[in-house]
Structure formats: structure tokens, C-alpha cells
């Protein structure tokens, strides 16, 4: 199957930390991707995990556990501009195509 | 700016018509992907080309077709358009099938 799940909406406060979870089930896997998408705009690449563990990139970090089919995106020191949709996707091991979750809409409040 | 270009930015047409969406990948990228994003479906993979050849197909309707040309640009053809085809269509490119994909700005298609 090609199931991938993430929360629909989250709200957090400016300056805080938020964790967006993603779970997936697939028979073929070639890494877990996170993208940010502002309304009406193109998704922009944030991070890629292919091995278990934490990848840190500035204010953003992403974690992967392949055995649990689980990933999270951690956003620190939230800014108003971080209000966006965050898309979790796994790569197909056969072709590299991305299978996306529905996205998590994050609202950052002052 | 991802380096991926798409034209046109907006397209308004009537049911039953045919349209062509165009995509130019980033310089050096051999893989091109097409995705459809509608409000109720999220981002859905349609089709992938690698160096001119079809590599994978997703939930692409028979009314839709695509191709990648020798200069690596790609076109997505949508025919016999229906109201439900109204969506954002994104093109993405990557160096190979196993690298991050970079998305173009999208074409917003409205079928009236």
C-alpha cells in the first residue's frame, strides 16, 4: 500500500518549538522528504532522511525511524513566516516518485 | 527560485477543450515529474520521465498524456477537460530518480 499520514492542522506561538509527525506504510522506500508550501506557491525542499536518526539544518530538524515508519519535522524559534503547509513524502524505491501526505497546515500566532 | 520554469502561470478554459502545459527542468536535471494538486486530494503524482523516457506512472487519467523532449523540457497534455480537472499542476525536476525534487511555480488550470 501507499499510506502516509500527518495531522491536518497545528497551531503554535512565535518563538516556540513545534513537532510535526508523519507516519507511513510502504513496501518500497527511498527516503523521507519534508517540503514547505505557502498557499498558492510551489513546495520548497526542507529536508531528506534516508537513514535512521536526526538531520539538523538551522532552525529545522528532521528525524526518521524506518522500522517504525515514522518521521517528524521539528521547527525551532518559530517565526510568523513559518506559517505554511508542511508536506511529508516518501520516495518510491522503484522510481523515485514522491508519495505525499495531505500536509499539515501550521499557524504561528504572536 | 528553484530553477524550474512552467508556462503558462494561469489557464482558463472550457469543458471539453484541450490544453498543453510546459515545463523546463533545472539545468542538468534529467528527471521530470508532474503532480496535480487539488483542494481535496493534496499533491498527487501523475507521471515521471527520465532522459526522454517514461519512468513511472501514477494516477494519471487516460485523457492526460505527457512527453519529454530531447532538450529535456516536458509537456503535459490534458484533453476532454472536465470541471474536476481544475487544479494546480506542478512540474518538478531532479538530477536522478533518487535525489530531492525541485518544484516549478505551477500552472493553475481553471475549467469552466
If you write DSSP's letter for every residue of B75-108 in order, what string do you get? Answer: EEEE-S--GGG-EEEEEEEESSTTS--EE---EE
Q: Is the pLDDT of residue A68 over 60?
A: yes
Please name which of B21, B12, B93 lies closest in space to residue B51, comparing C-alpha atoms: B93
User: What pLDDT, on a 0 to 100 scale, did the predictor assign at position A95?
Assistant: 75
As a whole number, mean pLDDT of residues A62-66 equals 96
Q: Is the pLDDT of residue A39 over 80?
A: yes
Q: Is the pLDDT of residue B99 over 90?
A: no
Residue contact A101–B42, C-beta within 8 A: yes
> Beta strand pairing status for B5-7 and B19-24?
antiparallel
Residue of chain B whose alpha carbon sits nearest to that of A88: B43
Residue contact A45–B101, C-beta within 8 A: yes
Picking from A42, A91, A92, the nearest residue to B103 by CB comes out as A42
Confirm or reject contact between B44 and chain A (CB < 8 A): yes
> Beta strand pairing status for B53-57 and B42-50?
antiparallel
Which of A39, A42, A47, A49 best probes binding to B when mutated, by most B CB atoms within 10 angstroms?
A42
Residue contact A97–B90, C-beta within 8 A: no
Measured CA to CA, the distance from residue A100 to residue A28 in angstroms comes to: 14
Q: Chain A: nearest CA to B74, how far in angstroms?
A: 16
Q: Is the pLDDT of residue A2 over 70?
A: no
As a whole number, mean pLDDT of residues A44-56 equals 94
pLDDT one-digit tens code per residue, A69-84: 999 999 999 999 999 9
Measured CA to CA, the distance from residue B68 to residue B33 in angstroms comes to: 10
Q: pLDDT higher for B26 or B97?
A: B26
Residues from chain A that touch B2, judged by Cβ atoms under 8 A, are 42, 44
Which of A96, A99, A104 best probes binding to B when mutated, by most B CB atoms within 10 angstroms?
A96
pLDDT one-digit tens code per residue, A15-24: 999 999 999 9
Measured CA to CA, the distance from residue B110 to residue B81 in angstroms comes to: 10
Q: Is the pLDDT of residue B64 over 80?
A: yes
Q: Is the pLDDT of residue A1 over 60?
A: no
pLDDT one-digit tens code per residue, B13-62: 999 999 999 999 999 999 999 999 998 778 999 999 999 999 999 989 99
Residues from chain B that touch A24, judged by Cβ atoms under 8 A, are none
Calculate the average pLDDT of chain A: 93
Residue contact B100–A44, C-beta within 8 A: no
Q: Which residue has the cell 499510506?
A: A3
Amino acid at each position: 500500500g501507499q499510506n502516509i499520514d500527518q495531522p491536518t492542522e497545528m497551531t503554535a506561538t512565535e518563538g516556540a518549538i513545534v513537532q510535526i509527525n508523519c507516519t507511513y506504510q510502504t513496501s518500497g522506500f527511498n527516503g523521507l522528504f519534508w517540503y514547505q508550501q505557502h498557499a498558492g506557491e510551489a513546495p520548497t525542499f526542507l529536508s531528506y532522511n534516508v537513514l535512521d536518526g536526526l538531520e539538523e539544518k538551522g532552525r529545522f530538524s528532521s528525524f526518521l525511524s524506518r522500522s517504525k515508519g515514522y518521521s517528524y519535522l521539528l521547527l525551532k524559534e518559530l517565526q510568523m513566516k513559518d506559517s505554511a503547509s508542511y508536506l511529508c513524502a516518501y520516495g518510491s524505491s522503484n522510481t523515485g516518485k514522491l508519495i505525499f501526505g495531505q500536509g499539515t497546515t501550521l499557524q504561528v500566532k504572536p | 527560485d528553484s530553477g524550474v520554469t512552467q508556462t503558462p502561470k494561469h489557464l482558463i478554459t472550457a469543458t471539453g477543450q484541450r490544453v498543453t502545459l510546459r515545463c523546463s527542468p533545472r539545468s542538468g536535471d534529467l528527471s521530470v515529474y508532474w503532480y496535480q494538486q487539488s483542494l481535496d486530494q493534496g499533491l498527487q503524482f501523475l507521471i515521471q520521465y527520465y532522459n526522454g523516457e517514461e519512468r513511472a506512472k501514477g494516477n494519471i487519467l487516460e485523457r492526460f498524456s505527457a512527453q519529454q523532449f530531447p532538450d529535456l523540457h516536458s509537456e503535459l497534455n490534458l484533453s476532454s477537460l472536465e470541471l474536476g480537472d481544475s487544479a494546480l499542476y506542478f512540474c518538478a525536476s531532479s538530477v536522478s530518480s533518487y535525489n530531492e525534487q525541485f518544484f516549478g511555480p505551477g500552472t493553475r488550470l481553471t475549467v469552466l
